[in-house]
Structure 1
């Protein structure tokens, strides 16, 4: 395929010995010549003497300056170049640079060249000479000799007039067999030309004569033939410096030249490959490769790498022995790089959107080079406490070519996400081709699905998609066009949904706002929850006000789309993992009652460690219960059946916990859940009995065995949950169509359940001596007992014989707590007994009167008990109101007797003469 040159060059290299310099180059040339004349006229000072011995034959020569190498070649090709190497015949680059600086410090000299100043420090030097308009000369930077990094002799760099200048002496090199470290000496122009990598790079421009010089005798000719040759025998050239193989690959791909057959043969020699692996620093290899892949024809560069069998020499981890190193699959490499070249050169949807600039095009070629490692197994993680080792391809680019962190990160993300990307592309293409076909799971064409996938892949998603496409081409080499169509369809869908820049979309909510809306402390849960918000945002692109998102989260019940999504997310991915190791054994994974016998849990060292089994108790999981509470508060009948298996285990785990505070939370959450649970769901799953078995033991956590501040909240939550359970587990039947006995069975079942709870929750603790119970406990009992009596209705009469004596003790016993709240609630319970058991209350009227009169006398004359006294009067009226006529008259007669005995009780019966029964005289 024809090379794709970034810069056009003239077809025929000029054979003229003269070059036409630009005005800036002319100014630089004039400056350099003036400096050389100044040096000739003023011998060197001690501070610029060199430790490199100057040959005697050069000592008396005048300074001769030459532009060398790539600048001369580019000038002959008509290609602009801002990098100029200046070769000096009898001084090192640092010596000449210091003398140049001294020359420019002479007053009036800067102005000769349109300059104004010399950089005084590194900061000024960074800005100096960056353009041809700059009037400041950059400082000198000495680069020490470092043969391991392909720096044979010290050089000095500087910037001036927008040009990057390298100052270096003419030199010759002598190599040893076991190293590429040459012995450097001052050389002649011929010697300097012959030591260079290619004849086209070995030509000079003599500033003194203003002519080009071709000391190899082949430079002009090879440029005209467009071939790459070495000045000396290629095998020895490469043996001396194996890096030259990569440099010639770079020049061939950049210039569109052909490497001479003899040179290619030498480059394929195993000795040269071994020398390249052993003698060349990986940093220099990476530099050459980067230059080649950012050049005009990276396809040709990679073609030559593969053709010369250099792939594993370059792309390998030098720290791993050959026998242990993964062997990359280079089969079909030509198809892969040809396909990428076609995509990038022909333009179209993929190139326009996935390789938009030089950096993304460079990433594409780096990724193409890594495709042979697509099936490399993941390295074994030896230390579980450390991050898993990166994929082999990442290690290869980091260690093999010393790629930048940016390149390594792109390759790491591409390898990591390749399977997900190709899977999504396949699903989307299938949906586009067959839109009527039913599918399972997410809709691959949906805006939120694609958008969230791209956000997961990250900012370099474009390059990652290119890699996934190239991997698929490598695996299906006869389907290149079909694969390109598929990926084109994917990108077109991304563009049509306005998702090309989805990475930059700002979330409507941040973590703090979401935590505040939910009522949970900030924590690690926010990151994934914000992804749920972003997915909702992508599905609703017209919603741009953050307040709209907040209101969605705050909606009561799950009738908001965002709330429903968050509920599913929290239960599946936030709450469930924290409760998975302490799940109740009474419930199946489907949220049903276990009906088979299960083996006991296998004990281990971690079984008793709550940090492992119950992480929601720790500080790191403190947010869990707040989120679970929010979830349950947002449930309704539309979603509860879907999430039932997920919400039941954590609630039962909380109720089963040994600490009262967690049991309280569990009972409260169960109460809230039951209020939105359809009776049919509870019946279908058979969990009514499971809930009963979990809640009833909570009734034993009474004071003083349980601290009062823990017992009261737990008992209150349990009383409420059990009452709610009674109505959901055994709902009211539909209006009976007949008098069949089946129609009353649900009522009987609920009555039996409430009877059991009432005896366990209220009668049993009161029977142990109500006068000794702490006031908060009595208040709690007498607050909730009326609710159960009302639920039982007439069926409560069976408990009257037990409850009334207990009430009498509370209301009248001298040692019983006499706080207003206790007495008011006890009297309210007495009223509930009368109202619900009215047909049988006549048989207990004496006990009722005893309780009322005793309490009245107890309160007589005491301040702050007006509410109690008014309540007792109301109880008297209620009692008389439900009694039969004769029984009512009997109460009135009892009143007269009681007043006669103790006049203080008169006030209790005020107004009775206005009632149904007139006092008989």
Structure 2
């Protein structure tokens, strides 16, 4: 948190930057108000990077367009129905929105858009007080009608109006509360938390795409765990991703196995830490990896069995979990690639643990790499993060084993171009050597050669030809 004086200095410098100064002067000269609003004002006090500059004004959309058009190298009015005009001024993208006093019908998320004339009225309809502050331009006067500065200094999230009213108007704000808990490191007030719990089922009126977008933003924060815990504690997770709160049921009275819910959150924390250590500078948060870490054990409730002596098992929870994750992500309208990658990581996340039972052959290592494909680095991270035991000797043994596996993968990769494992002969060569046409037999021959490649490494074209012909001859005799 920056001091108030430092934040004001940052905001002043921003307001005096050429593109904003030109914009503010143009609106003032035309007789209209203009204010920098929301996130940039909040982030100036938090010491965060300032971007996505949003402005608000009493000018109507046509009037905004008339003012910005002479200043802009490009402009667009795709948000005109909601009062928003976008523009590029001196290379900077800005969005300017007419003051609004929206009304909601209580049944859907879509408001009746109503334009307003007061900055203060516009601010009090926003989601949280820390986002309901504005800097009037060009005079650089801070406007804070809801006590956002007090909440900012206290690190808390509260709503400008009663939370029941705010969340009733827009239930997606409850998801945003979880995201801001993680993104800003703030804590929601008791009143906000109680309203979230009471209105959790109202989230059902929000489109799945918008819910998914908020979940993705939460998972992309530096520390998603507090937000996820808030979703679970308030019952919102039951509406969005019920497989997570279901993990809390997996703690038996005899404590024969670890708390799967807490374990999953710890795996997520550790995966993010490893992701940051291994990522290239400037890389975006790996939401696929984080979703896989959070969901990797969701197959456990369905596969839980209590065997002799009270031993609890979860056989095949990796396969079951992969299917459940794919089903949930499809329901949330995630894209096909994300669904495929997350479910594949979950399916593979236990594969390594057989390595500690005895040294793998080179063939087993090749198959591990082949099955992981371009998810190999993520699988490395997920597998390492999945070790949450408090037994230091066991944790050290698993870490050494995975160090060894990664070293062997590097050696084999250098020797054999492991990332692109293919048979020594391609389909065209197979057909020419065996005198066959495209069809099932070509595929079977290809798979035969691929298995040889995985088992024995590169054979060379001559040896592969000999093996292929022997295989084909044996099949023909049979």
Superposition pairs of residues 759-908 of structure 1, within 5 angstroms: none
1:96 aligns with 2:88: no
Residue 553 of structure 1: how far off its partner (Å): 2.7
**Compared CA separation, residues 511 and 160, structure 1 to 2 (3 A):** farther
CA-to-aligned-CA distance 1:691-710 (integer Å, 9 cap, x gap): xxxxxxxxxxxxxxxxxxxx
Counterpart pick for 2:247 among 314, 329, 341: 329
| Cα shift at 1:431 | 0.6
Aligned with 1:68 (options 37, 44, 51): 37
| Cα deviations by residue, 1:300-341 (Å, 9 ceiling, x for unpaired) | 22222222222221126xxxxxxxx99943443222212331
Query: Structure 1 residues 528, 466: CA separation in 2 closer, same or farther (over 3 Å shift)?
Result: farther
Counterpart of 1:201 (choices 107, 119, 131) is: 131
How many angstroms apart in 2 are the aligned matches of 1:523 and 1:479? Answer: 54
Corresponding residue for 2:329? Answer: 397
Aligned to 1:143: 79
Asked if 1:286 is matched to 2:212, the reply is yes
Question: Is 2:273 the partner of 1:341?
Answer: no
TM superposition score normalised by structure 1: 0.44
Aligned Cα RMSD in Å? Answer: 3.6
- Residue 243 (structure 1) aligned to one of 162, 172, 189: 172
Equivalent of residue 87 in structure 1, options 56, 60, 84: 56
Alignment of 1:229-268 (within 5 A): 229-268=158-197
Structure 1 residues 360, 431: CA separation in 2 closer, same or farther (over 3 Å shift)?
Answer: farther
CA distance in 1, matches of 2:86, 2:217: 20
1:174–1:481 distance in 2 versus 1, CA, 3 Å: farther
Q: 1:409 aligns with which of 321, 340, 358?
A: 340
Q: Secondary structure at the match of 1:180?
A: coil
> Secondary structure of the residue that 1:179 maps to in structure 2?
coil
Contact 1:142 1:154 in 2 (8 A): no
Q: 1:786-824 CA distances to partner (integer Å, 9 max, x unpaired)?
A: xxxxxxxxxxxxxxxxxxxxxxxxxxxxxxxxxxxxxxx
CA distance in 1, matches of 2:426, 2:261: 46
User: Whole-Å Cα distance in 2 between the matches of residues 463 and 229 of structure 1?
Assistant: 37
**Is the 1:84–1:166 Cα contact (8 Å) retained in structure 2?**
yes
Query: Larger relative CO (CA 8 A, sep 6+): 1 or 2?
Result: 2
Q: 1:155 to 1:351 in 2, by over 3 A?
A: closer
TM-score by length of 2: 0.80
Choose the corresponding residue for 2:232, options 306, 312, 323: 306
Structure 1 residue 490: Cα displacement = 3.4
C-alpha separation between the residues in 1 aligned to 2:194 and 2:392? 32
The aligned runs of 1:650-729 (5 Å cut-off) are 651=477
Tell me what 1:368 maps to: 293
**Match for 1:32 among 23, 36, 49?**
23
CA distance in structure 2 between the partners assigned to 1:327 and 1:84 by the alignment: 37
Residue 456 of structure 1: how far off its partner (Å): 2.7
Structure 2 match to 1:889? none
Equivalent in the alignment of 1:427: 354
- Contact 1:393/1:411 (CA < 8 Å) preserved in 2? yes
Aligned mates of 1:295, 1:16 — CA distance in 2: 23
SS at match of 2:247: coil
Distance in 1 between the 2:451 and 2:352 partners?
Answer: 19
Query: Shift of the alpha carbon at 1:180?
Result: 3.3
SS across alignment from 2:88: strand
Superposed displacement of residue 78, structure 1: 2.7
Contact 1:83 1:163 in 2 (8 A): no
Is the 8 Å Cα contact of residues 69 and 202 (structure 1) preserved in structure 2? yes
Whichever of the two has the greater Rg, that structure is 1
Residue 238 of structure 1: how far off its partner (Å) = 1.2
Q: CA deviation at 1:69?
A: 0.2
What do the CA deviations read for 1:166-198 (whole angstroms, capped 9, x no partner)?
Answer: 221111133333333333323311111111111
Q: Structure 1 regions of 5+ residues with no counterpart?
A: 1-9, 41-61, 105-117, 119-136, 146-152, 317-324, 379-389, 433-444, 556-562, 571-626, 633-646, 653-921
